[in-house]
Amino acid sequence: MALLELDGVNTYYGRSHILFDVSLSVAKGEVVALLGRNGAGKSTTFRSVIGLTAPRSGEVRFKGEKVNGLRAFRICRRGIGFVPEDRRCFPDLTVRENLEVATRREKQAENPWTVDRVYALFPRLQERERNLGSQLSGGEQQMLTIARTLMTNPELLLLDEPSEGLAPLVVALLAEMILQIRKEGVTVLLAEQNLHFCAKVADRGYVIDKGSVKYEGTMKDLLADDEVKEKYLAV
């Protein structure tokens, strides 16, 4: 059974119809990429999943249960962690404090994430643990927002353009970390424009353009498909 399924999702902002019958699925243990150019509908797809902008029709199922219609915090509590594009952390809290405030004690996860466990994954954050959020580089902030979201023990992690604006070396580091997160048993759906980054971390990919899914397949097949790459991705 798929961990996450979107089935014919249509989403609007007011009168603007943005997503057109979007269907996709993510199986437990997979890393799946949602690729598309600026304004293609990637963030809106994520907003539709977690209920920030509820779909007007279609269904979103998490662990086989329909979740669209529930409030965003209820959807996330079922086990979805969302890392938005703006990678905002608390600027006046230290790195450690940013992580500690995200701890969920009410949830009895099997192998809960702790500050030490996320430090093992992101050694750079441990080096910076006494620094304030406002003192971090873009790459460090991205790591911190991912680490903080892991502290909520998600089964599914939604990453919205994690590589955007980061230096190539940092992007390579981030790819290693996503592979490590997957090894730890977390399923990942990431929205990206960076095809090469996705090729390193994802098993399968969906290409979205003008709010509808234009392609789905393995990353290997997608990389070999020059027509799709030229038509829908800026490569």
Ligand X SMILES: Nc1ncnc2c1ncn2[C@@H]1O[C@H](COP(=O)(O)OP(=O)(O)OP(=O)(O)O)[C@@H](O)[C@H]1O
Whether 195 contacts 229, CB under 8 Å: yes
Total binding residues toward Mg ion, as defined by CB under 5 A: 2
13 forms part of the interface with ligand X (CB under 6 A)? yes
Scanning the structure block, which residue is given the tokens 């304030």? 132
Closer residue to ligand X in complex, CB, 24/121:
24
Query: What is the DSSP code string of 84-126?
Result: -TT----TTSBHHHHHHTT--SS---SS---HHHHHHH-HHHH
Residue whose C-alpha is closest to residue 153's, from 200, 101, 114, 209: 114
Site for ligand X in 143-202 (CB under 6 A): 193
Closer residue to Mg ion in complex, CB, 98/163:
163
43 forms part of the interface with Mg ion (CB under 5 A)? yes
Q: How many residues comprise the chain?
A: 235
15 forms part of the interface with ligand X (CB under 6 A)? no
DSSP-derived 3-state class of residue 37: coil
Q: Out of ligand X, Mg ion, none, which partner does residue 38 contact, by CB within 5 to 8 A per kind?
A: ligand X
Closer residue to ligand X in complex, CB, 21/100:
21
Mark residues 13-42: x for contact with Mg ion by CB under 5 A, - for none.
Answer: -----------------------------x
